[in-house]
Amino acid sequence: MEREIGAHELLKIHEVMQKLKDGMNLYNLYLPHIKNEDFARLVEYQLHFTKSECKMFLDELCSPTANVCTYGMYTIFEPTYGYKSITLGSDNKFSEHEISSSLLAHCKSTAIVKMSAALECANPDLRQLMVQSSTNSVHQAYDIWRFMNAQGYYQVPVFPEETTEVIIQSFKKMYP
């Protein structure tokens, strides 16, 4: 039986493939500017994974197998909560703060594009592939975020404990 694929699905795959290509271009553009070895390894890991995802989509289109790539979390950093003032550089070079911020934004927008594509897929295998691929981008974004958090670039402010408790209690009142 010959495989059928809808025009809309094919156009959404084109959009996703373009986002993946954009990501590979960003990784390749930024890699020479990264000095932190852990961050460089993370970016190389994500570049390699993105290439695997591209191959997965091409394989699925050419001979459907439902072989799904699953992103394995890479980062060795654990989240830090709280906020401290930081000083940002002002020279004209790419800083690791700017690079990581750009890559985080790319991973987040790619996750959205992939999930939007999943919602438009008629083929259940292709739909599941898109959902998993979107989840992969979410995990990639989290890896980048954890690096940023460990460096103090993306901090997590917290409310005082009393304020947090009041808000949680208000949720309980809204949804008994």
> What token pair was written down for 21?
């290509």
The CATH superfamily label for domain 7-174 reads Ferritin, core subunit, four-helix bundle (1.20.1260.10)
> What token pair was written down for 2?
């010959």
The whole model's pTM is what? 0.85
**Alpha carbon distance, N-terminus to C-terminus of the chain:** 53
d(CA 100, CA 33): 11
pLDDT 10s per residue in the chain (176 long)?
456 788 888 999 999 999 999 999 999 999 999 999 999 999 999 999 999 999 988 888 887 665 667 677 666 667 777 777 766 666 667 899 999 999 999 999 999 999 999 999 998 888 999 999 999 999 999 999 999 999 999 988 899 999 999 999 999 888 86
Q: 66 by DSSP, 3-state: which? A: coil
What does the angle CA 128 – CA 135 – CA 110 come to, to the nearest 5 degrees?
A: 105
Q: Which long-range contacts (CB under 8 A, 24 or more apart) does 72-75 make?
A: 73/139, 73/142, 73/143, 74/41, 74/42, 74/45, 74/46, 74/143, 75/42, 75/142, 75/143, 75/146, 75/147
d(CA 137, CA 67): 17
